Homo-oligomer: A and B are copies of this chain.
Amino acid sequence: MPELRREPITGRWVIISTERRNRPSSYVTVPRNKEASMCPFCPGNESHTPPEVLAYREAGSEPDRPGWHLRVISNKYPALKVEGTLDRAPHGIYDQMNGVGAHEVIIETPEHAHDMVDMTDNEVRNVLWSYRERMTDLERDLRFKHIIVFKNYGEAAGSSLEHSHSQLIATPIVPMRIVEEVAGARRYYDFKERCIFCDVIRQELSDQERIIRDHDAFVAYMPYASRFPFEACIIPKAHQSSYLEMSDAEYLTLARCLKDTLLRLKMALNNPPFNYVLHTRPLVRECTEYYHWHFEIIPRLTKMAGFEWGTGFYINPTAPEEAAAFLRNIDTSQYGTSK
C-alpha cells in the first residue's frame, strides 16, 4: 500500500509510493529503454492495460477491444490505490495515512503518432469531456478531497509513454498549491468580496500585453509573475469555481483554446516537453464564491529548478510580456506545411 506522510513543519503531504517503487540501486544507472517497442495504449493491445473504466467507442464494439476513440483505464502503476480506508495514524510526532486514491490514465486517441494538436477540435473536446465524466463519478467517493487532472508531454516532463495520454489522480488531501491558492483567494475575498481570479482576468484583458489569445468564453495568457519561461494559463472569463460548472457547449470552445495554445507553444519552441495541470475547486464546497478553475501549462525549458525546489523562490529569465508577444505572432495556419 502506498503511504501518505505529512511533512511536520509545513504540513505538506507526500506520497511514498510502493507500487512504482524504485530500489536505491536503480538510480545508479539510467535504465530507460529508448527502443521502439509494443505500445500498451495502441488498439489491439488492450489486454496489456487494466480494464477500461470509460470508453468512447464505435457502436457494437466490445469493452477492452479495438473500436474505441478514447479509453480511460486505471494506472497500471498507481501512485495511490483505490481500495481501503485512510487509517490516519501517528508515527511518533509524525502523521501518516494509507495512500488511498484513484489514479487513472486517459488514452486520448487510438493514433499512436497524434499529439493533442493533431487531433480534431471534437477529439480534443472529447478528452476534456472525459475528464468531466471521470471527475463526476469520483466526486461521489467521500474519501476524496480533490481531483487533479494533468498531462506530462515528453520524457523531460516525466512522460514514460509517447502515445498521447493524460492522467487523473483523486486524493484524500488537497494538494499544497491548491491549498495556497484557496487561502490566498479567500484573503482577497474577505477584503474585497470579489474573486481575485476575476480581477486578474479584468486586468489582463485591459493590459493585453500578456494575452496569448482571446477565445470568447476563455482567455489564454501568461501570468504577471510567471515562475517559468512561457508559463501559460487558460481560464474561463465567467466566474466558475469548478471545471464541472462549464456548460456543455463550452467544452468545445475550451478544446479550441487549449489546442491553439499548445500548438503555438509547439511551433514557437520546437515541440518542447510540457506539463499541464487542471486546478479546480476542492470537493468541499466552501470556496465556490472565491475560487476559479484554470489550466496551468508549463513548458519545461530551463533546468533551474533545484534552487527553486529548495526555496520556492523562482528566477524567470524571460518576461511574460515578451513570451506572449512571441506566441501571438505564430501563424498557426502554417502548422505541418514544412514537414
Q: Say how many copies of this protein the assembly contains.
A: 2
From A296, which residue of chain B is reached at the shortest CB distance? B310
From A312, which residue of chain B is reached at the shortest CB distance? B176
Tell me, rounded to whole Å, the shortest Cβ–Cβ distance linking A183 to chain B: 8
CB of B79 within 8 A of CB of A315, answer yes
A243 within 8 A of B: no
CB of B313 within 8 A of CB of A226, answer no
A285 within 8 A of B: no
A137 within 8 A of B: no
Q: Give residues of chain A (229-279) contacting chain B, Cβ–Cβ below 8 Å.
A: 229-230, 268-270, 272-277, 279
A144 within 8 A of B: no
Residues on the B chain within 8 Å of A10, using CB = 177, 180-181, 183-184
CB of B326 within 8 A of CB of A9, answer no
- Contact A298:B317 (CB < 8 A) given known A223-B7, A229-B22: no
From A18, which residue of chain B is reached at the shortest CB distance? B319
A129 within 8 A of B: no
Residues 173-208 of chain A, each 1 if its beta carbon lies under 8 Å from chain B, else 0 = 001111111011100100000001101100100110
Residues on the B chain within 8 Å of A319, using CB = 16, 18
- Contact A318:B196 (CB < 8 A) given known A157-B306, A184-B10: no
Given contacts A20-B317, A150-B311, A158-B306, 17 further A-B contacts (CB under 8 A): A5-B225, A9-B184, A10-B177, A10-B180, A10-B181, A14-B315, A16-B226, A24-B322, A24-B326, A27-B299, A27-B318, A148-B307, A158-B305, A175-B311, A177-B311, A275-B310, A277-B306
